Amino acid sequence: MLLKALLAKSRHYHPSYRGGLCNHCPMTLVALDRMGATPKRIESFALDYLKRMEPAPLPGDAINAENWRARLGEEGAYADYLGFFRREVGRLSARATLRVYLPELAPGLGAAAFHPVIRTAFGVITEDSEEIIVGLAYWASRYLRLPERDDMPVELPFRPTDDPLQILKTTRTWPGLDFEPDDDALIDREMARAADPTLFPLLAAALQIDE
């Protein structure tokens, strides 16, 4: 099957490139296939897109079930997470591996601006265990947990509302949340900066959510 073959080819390349940008090729291939694109169109897209990507590393073996949490969020650990999740899928099956590790990865789903969880989901959609492995390894190596506060003040600096637009309007003028361009412009790093532990939980608490 062409899609399976092209997804396998795309795994010869790293899930990110140029210092952290996401390789969208696998997800786009699945979308093109689901939308009825011709085989020629799908193959043409893949071959053109992958010219810009960087080679994937060989799976490593430095991460195991005992130490896998210690390197969460370490971009350089991708190869070792790739080896770890490949071994886990071989031991448990892809579905069982998801059941074991998703609860602990979920708090860090902000990783790489949600792209790892998207790639994992596309692996589930296509029932492709190798795509799931890549998605989980990508997720673990870019794990991003936004801060929480245990000492929430009695009175919030924002008026509680059930309208998220009102909160967004408040944040536009709040000191410290002004946009400041940086060298890489990766959105997950902007997310981490905006999610200041002194402010972000207060913003979230001000949003009233009913059933």
Neighbours of 72 (CB within 10 A): 20
Read off φ and ψ for residue 22, nearest 5 degrees. -85, 135
End-to-end, the C-alpha distance of the chain in Å comes to: 44
Q: Between 50 and 170, where is the model more confident?
A: 50
- Which helix (H) or strand (E) is 21 found in, with range? strand 21-22
Q: What is the mean pLDDT of residues 64-77?
A: 96
- pLDDT at residue 151 above 80? no
Q: Supply the pLDDT for residue 176.
A: 66
3-state secondary structure at position 22: strand
Q: What is the mean pLDDT of residues 145-171?
A: 79
Using one digit for the tens of pLDDT, what is the confidence trace for 7-38?
Answer: 999 999 999 999 889 999 999 999 999 999 99
Q: Supply the pLDDT for residue 139.
A: 98
Which residues are within 8 A (CB) of 185 and not within 5 positions of it... i.e. 6 or more apart?
none
Confidence class for position 185, pLDDT limits 50, 70, 90: low
- pLDDT at residue 179 above 70? no
Read off φ and ψ for residue 101, nearest 5 degrees. -100, -20
Confidence class for position 178, pLDDT limits 50, 70, 90: low
Percentage above 90 pLDDT, the chain: 68
Read off φ and ψ for residue 16, nearest 5 degrees. -135, 165
Q: What is the mean pLDDT of residues 45-72?
A: 97
Confidence class for position 184, pLDDT limits 50, 70, 90: low
Using one digit for the tens of pLDDT, what is the confidence trace for 96-115?
Answer: 999 999 999 999 999 999 99
- pLDDT at residue 195 above 80? no
Please tell me the distance from the alpha carbon of residue 87 to that of residue 59, in angstroms, as a whole number.
10
In the predicted model, what is the mean pLDDT of the chain?
91
